[in-house]
A = this chain, B = another copy of it.
Amino acid sequence: MAIKYSRQRQEIKNFLMSRKDHPTADVVYMNVRQQYPNISLGTVYRNLTLLADMGEITRLHLGDGVDHFDADTSPHYHFVCSKCGQVMDLHMNNIDSIVDIAGMNFNGEIQGHITYFYGICGNCNEPDDEH
């Protein structure tokens, strides 16, 4: 018996699964508090880390200084809007060949890569919105 069930952890995972954006720990905290008003931020962090270690969710580093979490663990990529900060999924063709390209002139074992894309999202890119 190593890992015991906990209502809080279940609710954290449920919340993450209900969202297609990629919330930060703080956003998870704010929302789970509606179900468990006494939950502590430490509990949220501990369980997010635990779920990530178990492979049930993914922790994303997107260069904005805060970790984001994603309940979709299938391989896919992310886009970060430079204007509004939104993080969205990119369902795109496989680009794992870049690992082979990277390995061509490298003396070592390349096991994988971290990639995300940035730019202006569809919402922020609306034409003629102002003035």
- The interface of chain A, by Cβ under 8 A from chain B, is 61, 63, 77, 79, 81-82, 90-93, 95, 98-99, 101-102, 104-125
Report which of B114, B122, B123 forms a contact with A116, defined as CB distance below 8 A.
Answer: B114
Known: A63-B61, A105-B91. A98 touches B81 (CB 8 A): no
Known: A63-B61, A98-B98. A92 touches B104 (CB 8 A): yes
Point out the residues of chain B lying under 8 angstroms from A106, CB to CB: 79, 90, 92, 122
Taking the closest CB of chain B, its distance from the CB of A77, in whole angstroms, is 7
Q: How far is the CA of A101 from the CA of B91 in the complex (A)?
A: 10
Residue contact A122 to B107, C-beta cutoff 8 Å: yes
Please give me the residue from chain B that is nearest to A64 by CB atom: B61
19 intermolecular pairs with C-beta atoms under 8 Å apart? A61-B63, A79-B110, A81-B108, A82-B111, A90-B102, A90-B106, A92-B104, A92-B106, A93-B104, A95-B95, A98-B115, A99-B117, A107-B121, A108-B123, A109-B120, A112-B117, A112-B118, A113-B115, A113-B116
Indicate the member of A93, A116, A119 with the most B CB atoms within 10 Å.
A119
Point out the residues of chain B lying under 8 angstroms from A120, CB to CB: 108-109, 111
